[in-house]
Every structure is written in C-alpha cells, then in structure tokens.
Structure 1
C-alpha cells in the first residue's frame, strides 16, 4: 500500500502536491518581535495601546504579512511603531505550540532614524536598562530582554 501511495504522490507533482499539503496542514500567523538595544545596552520598550491593561509594555512586535521574510518584518514593524531604522540580527526565539501562532524574535541593531511613535498603536516608547524594567511588561519578553534565547 505504501508503494502505491508513493507512486501516486510522485505522479501528482507540482501545484497539485502543494495544494494537498496546504489543505492537510495547519495554518499559522507569525508574530515577529525585535529586541532593539542602544549603545548603552538599554532595550527599547513600547507601551502598546491595544494590549491588556495589566501588561501593556513590551518589545516592538507585529505579524508577518504573506510572503514577507521575518527579518523584514522586524525592520518594518520597528519603523512603523517607532520611526527607528534597524537591521535584523541573530534569531533569538522560535516558538510554536500555540493554537494558530508561531513566534519569532530577532536581536535588532539600531542603525538610525528618529524616535516618533505611531499614536494609533503605541502610547509611549522608552529605553530601559534590562535590570530596571517597568511594571506591566509582557512576561514572554522578559527572557528576550535578559538575553535568554530559545531559538532552534
């Protein structure tokens, strides 16, 4: 039976194989986070308007758009939310296991721009020492800020 299935699979080829795989597997949104540090080692944290009132502070974060490289998502999201220009660096988190979401995080090197927040999404942006973080920070961001990684 396995040989028959393998032979049929090879005969399908190309777009039909991809369509079957697409239908048979889970679909995920990809949340991408940037850990942006300045030359003093402080980390950029944002007070997000749409996050829960108990934990509104966190790193620049957003969702990848279809076909976008995750490194490009970091650059785009930081620019949209803060006006700052960054270059995506080392992958520091790759985590699955959520119902419909995959999480990816990169170190992000500050390369320019002027800090100006997007008032629709962000209430405030500030630089914090990793040892002096604000109350209400996302717990999932704390290990990233402390330099603990979980990338494959």
Structure 2
C-alpha cells in the first residue's frame, strides 16, 4: 500500500465544448516536437482559480470568444503518466457554454481554431508517443467521444 503515501502534483484543467451546427470548436497547437495537436479550448487552472473561471479565461485566450452560462458536463479524474517525469493526479472538467465574439486567439501556442464536424473530430486525434504527453492518452478523449455521440457520463475515473 505504499502508493497511498505518495504525493503527486495536482493538475486541474477545464475545457469547453463549443458547438455550432453539429460542429465542435477545436484549437490547433504546436507541440514541443513540432507536431500539431488538436484539442478542446481550455486549459490549466491557476493557483486559487476555480475550474469554471479557468475555462472562461483559457477559452478567451485560445479562441478570442467570450463564454458565459457554463454548464458542467463531466469530470475526468485519476493518476496519469505514472512512472514519467510528468506523473500527476489529474482533475479535468468539461463544460458547455454560450459564446459570443469572433475567433481571434491571443495564445502564442495556438496556430489555428477550427469548427470540425462531429464525424471528423476523432480522426484528428493523434494517440501514442511521446508517453509524457497526456493529450495523446486515449482516455482523455473518451468524454469527448461520448459527448459527440450524445451520451456523456458525468464521471470518468482514469
């Protein structure tokens, strides 16, 4: 039972499903290895910041859109990247929201913002190496797959 005595860094993040005409808004970001990663708008919460406020702030930064009326969809929680230098305990919230404004990202890591048809979302996801990269863990995408299919669960233990 030694694993109970370990202290893991906590990673809290919030992402928002922005939907328009059966399209999901995704951001394109350049990864450290130069590849392009497609993800939901949102990101890490700052110290002392709640997940809802993190979602609003990060969506504005990554897309230029203002989101309001957040509705909680799901929470993904558990240990990730065990045995790597990025080992962490993750709490990732997903919301839906109303949005206004125009797409105008100010995050320098964002190289594009795209409305992607539901049927094409999963085809853009790159699983696999590097193993230190939680975005490429298939479990991260299970809540999104369920959301697109119309049957999201509230809780996803990792």
Q: Say which of 101, 115, 118 aligns to 1:127.
A: 115
1:16-55 C-alpha deviation (Å, 9 max, x unpaired): xxxxxxxx954412122222212x1311011112365556
- The alignment partner of 1:103 has SS state of strand
**Structure number, greater radius of gyration:** 1
Please say if 1:91 is aligned against 2:59.
no
1:109: how far off? 1.4
- In 2 relative to 1, CA 53–135 (structure 1 residues): closer, same or farther, beyond 3 Å? farther
* TM-score normalised to structure 1 length: 0.70
> What are the residue-to-residue correspondences of 1:54-73 with 2, within 5 Å?
56-73=37-54
- The alignment partner of 1:111 has SS state of strand
- In 2 relative to 1, CA 142–94 (structure 1 residues): closer, same or farther, beyond 3 Å? closer
Please say if 1:81 is aligned against 2:62.
yes
- The alignment partner of 2:25 has SS state of strand
Gaps (5+ residues) in structure 2? 1-5, 81-86, 127-135
**Matches of 2:32 and 2:15 in 1, distance apart?**
15
Structure richer in strand, relative to its length = 2
Please say if 1:151 is aligned against 2:139.
no
Matched length = 128
> What are the residue-to-residue correspondences of 1:110-121 with 2, within 5 Å?
110-118=98-106, 120-121=108-109
1:111: how far off? 2.5
- The alignment partner of 1:132 has SS state of helix
Gaps (5+ residues) in structure 1? 1-23
**Aligned residue number for residue 13 of structure 1:** none
- In 2 relative to 1, CA 110–102 (structure 1 residues): closer, same or farther, beyond 3 Å? same
